Amino acid sequence: MENKINKLKKDFGVVEDLSDIQFLQIHKENYKTEINENNFGEKLTTLYIIKFSIFNLVYCMKLLVFIYESSSEILKLDLKLQDEDLQKELEVCRNFLQRSRNINSTFLNLKKFSRLCEARRLIINIVLKKEPRISLYRNDEDALCIKYTCDSPNIMIEICWKIGWDLKNCDILDTIEVYYNNFELPNSQFIQEELEALTHSSLDFNIKLKLWKKLMSDLSEHTRPIVILDNEPNDQSDNVLVISDSDDERSEIVDITNQVIYVTD
């Protein structure tokens, strides 16, 4: 496989780092059985079928190529993602990549898309799926929607998280939009700051994970039970099992939130 990868890089002038990409198949065949030389110098029309995995996402890319004496020209690029939901989320970027037919740009953007999808998947598994008040679904714009509902007190928060294509800057963009009703809680200010901070696309994974954990903790704090231990003195202050974050951690989150909120484009 290593020889095939090196040949692929040579044929298409690939300079992008491919270390994050696991190639599953590189198949090359003549697209036409007859080779007709012409005035433009084409020697062979070739079909490449390339299957690869990036951060657990499996892609299949087909390239229809003219091979010259010292270079190759991509006539058509077709790209498919195995996951149907993520394929819809990738669609605008996919159309751009298929039109541009640039291999370096294709690998670059697929790596970024896959990395962001994997980060989102980890946050869902580590944090969101452990919260019973959370429901997940896809909306009409193919964004992943995270809905938090609690009847007492009445709280409704909907977070739409989409990893898509920024037409203006021609780049993969990690976008979060937040919608919530007016609710009054002792820690409402913290919750709103965390929600606002999550809407900024420049957060790295560790900061984003910490914000999601704090958000879920702050949202569930008002329903956290008071645990009374048996056979203890009547002083309620001694009987309450306190579950809270340290002041240092809260201060750190506030600092992170403030740094993000006041960043301007």
Check residue 168 and give its pLDDT. 87
* pLDDT exceeds 70 at position 234: no
Q: CA-CA distances (angstroms) from residue 96 to 3, 22, 33, 106, 209?
A: 30, 23, 31, 9, 30
Q: What's the CA gap between 211 and 195, in Å, rounded?
A: 8
Q: What's the CA gap between 116 and 122, in Å, rounded?
A: 10
pLDDT in tens, 169-206: 899 999 999 999 888 888 888 999 999 999 998 899 99
Check residue 249 and give its pLDDT. 52
Q: What's the CA gap between 126 and 55, in Å, rounded?
A: 17
Check residue 245 and give its pLDDT. 44
Do 183 and 157 touch, CB atoms closer than 8 A? no
pLDDT in tens, 50-108: 999 999 999 999 999 987 777 788 999 999 999 999 999 999 999 999 999 999 999 99
